[in-house]
Amino acid sequence: MTMTSGERVDSRRWWALAVVLAATFMALLDSFIVNVAIPSIQADLRASASDIQFILAGYTLAYAVLLITGSRLGDMFGRKRLFLIGMLGFVVASALCGAAPSSLYLILFRVLQGITAAAMMPQVLAMIQVSFPEREKAKAIGLYGATIGIATVSGQLLGGYLISQNLFGLGWRSVFLVNVPIGVAALLAGIPLLQESRNPSAKRLDLAGAIILTASLLALAFPLVQGREAGWPAWSFILLACFPAGLTLFIIYERKMLENGKSPLLSPSLFRDRSFSLGISLILVFYAIASALFFTLAVMLQQGFGYSALTSGLTYLPLGIGFFLASLASPKLVSRFGPAVLLVGAIITAGGIGYTLEIVHHHGGHLVWMALWPSLFIIGIGQGACAAPLIGTILSKVRQVNIGAASGVLTTATQLSTALGVCFVGIFFYRALDISALLDSHTRYAHAFTIALEFVLILSVIYAFLLIFLLKAGQQRHPEKLSVLRGRGVDSYGQLPESNPFQ
């Protein structure tokens, strides 16, 4: 369903949004919540270190590499249909994870979770884009961004609570079973509320293209997720080297598909859109910053300082609150001040990271978790001001025929950037731990965290400079259109109807 000027707007669209946001919450929650259950899983299932790695990685890998294929299937068979099928599968897979009798079964069911999430999640942004009129898209995407923030922060907090309370004697199984009632309610509500939409030009699945792209993404994602834990063996570098070759092969194959009049998995025209291509690079840096910060802070608090999972989760609470509030406010701010809000958000994020660095430097091994609350709140404000407007800007000029593919690529980029951030900053974090092995645990981990934060700060500065460059370039190309602070005729993304600061 594509909105046109003469088409009646679905009066139930906000209830439908609540359904797809529930799915977003569950899928992202499962990327984080399992971390706090690892000790209980190891004790109960007698899982080895290798088993634990694959329990964590199985979901992420299956999810990341199949998102684009999932978006294409939604274009072909209907986004509502794929969403509901994915939701049903995710609920079943979550129940199976909660009932897993061994680590092997848990690994298999986690992979199934990832596959079903890859069918469900790419439909969310596509359905938002085609179901809301232009004047409401920014608000809807703002709520989507707020949901991302809540899910990211809730993982450790909710997981820590469930484990500590041991509800109904379920132990670690409750972190999976919590999805079941949420998923069933969303599934039942989604059947009458969601509207069907599809891409009429998507006639059939480009199976060869899907296989090439999936293999290429796996060659990138697998070593990023598993390489550090395995000590960066030779196979990890071989796989990483295969990624650009596989991607080149995919591009060549897709172009030939288009030349022969066939329907490619990803149309090359999607990446000829400057705002989309540049926006994806910004997404990669933005989510790498967030993932690196979350990962290293959690390791320092739990492994270095011995805090419980619940206490560690409470540390992130101000960040989540700041993210939520800024995400809700961002549509109005961008409508009034334009794309400059993105830059202000990037500067606030960098300032919050610098403030966190100063706090840890000052306290060192005597750091108390609540001392981080003010700086984490600032980081949450900055990231919340960036997340939703950035997504909205990237998708705002994508043609409707490419909206499903664009949603899949965007969601894939967020997943891969999460792995990239942990991988890149994790190298320096663990190197610093090795060098300072003679120090006491608190001081050692605090020192390693400051080293990691310095690189996170560098990434945040790079992100800010990329935004400055892109906004300046857009203003030079369209000085008469880009009225950032004047508030004249701008739409909900802070742009005039026919302009985009990234084009």
| Cβ contacts of 308 within 8 Å, gap of 6 or more | 160, 164, 302
pLDDT, position 23 = 92
Taking residues 142-158, report their average pLDDT.
83
Q: Which of 169-173, 195-199, 327-331, 379-383 has the highest mean pLDDT?
A: 379-383
DSSP secondary structure letter of residue 194:
P
Q: Which residues contact 429 (CB under 8 A, 6 or more apart)?
A: 296, 299, 448, 449, 451, 452
Least confident of 196-205, 252-261, 417-426: 196-205
Q: What is the mean pLDDT of residues 217-241?
A: 87
At residue 36's C-alpha, the angle toward residues 286 and 380, to 5°, is 30
Is 247 a residue whose pLDDT tops 80? yes
Give the pLDDT band of residue 348 (cuts 50, 70, 90): very high
Cα–Cα distance, 75 to 83 (Å, whole number): 11
Label residue 444 by pLDDT band (50, 70, 90): very high
What is the model's pLDDT at position 494?
A: 39
Distance (Å) of CA 409 to CA 125, 244, 266, 277:
11, 17, 9, 10
Burial of 249 per CB tally in 10 Å (0-12, 13-18, 19+): middle
Does the pLDDT of residue 502 top 60, yes or no? no
Rounded to the nearest 10 degrees, the angle between the axes of helix 373-396 and helix 340-363 is: 150
Compute the half-sphere exposure of residue 458: CA atoms within 13 Å on the CB side of its CA. Answer: 9
Summarize pLDDT for 269-318 with one digit per residue, the tens.
777 777 787 888 888 899 899 888 988 898 899 889 988 878 888 898 89
Residue 491 above 60 pLDDT? no
pLDDT of residue 473: 54
The model's pLDDT over 419-431, given as tens digits with 9 standing for 90+, comes to: 888 888 888 888 8
Q: Can you give the pTM of this predicted structure?
A: 0.82
Tokens of 130: 């085609």
**Is the pLDDT assigned to residue 450 strictly greater than 70?**
yes
Which residues have a Cβ under 8 Å from the Cβ of 475 and sit 6 or more positions away?
A: 482, 484, 501
Per-residue tokens: 402: 């490419």
Give the pair of three-digit tokens for residue 207. 């199976």
Question: Bigger pLDDT: 226 or 88?
Answer: 88
- What is the reported pLDDT for 89? 96
d(CA 90, CA 105): 16
- One-letter amino acid of 313: G
Residue pair 408/72 in contact (Cβ under 8 Å)? The answer is yes
**pLDDT, mean of residues 102-130:** 93
The answer to whether residue 457 scores a pLDDT higher than 90 is yes
Residue 303: predicted pLDDT: 86
**Cα(121)–Cα(132) distance, rounded to whole angstroms?**
18
What confidence score (pLDDT) does residue 474 get? 53
Number of H-type helices and E-type strands within the chain: 18, 0
In 3D space, the residue among 324, 340, 334, 385 whose CA is nearest the CA of residue 492 turns out to be 334
Give the 3-state DSSP-derived string for 287-305, with helices as H, strands as E and coil as C.
HHHHHHHHHHHHHHHHHHC
pLDDT at 3: 46
Nearest to 72 by CA among 199, 238, 217, 183: 199
* Cα angle value 179/182/183 (rounded, 5°): 75
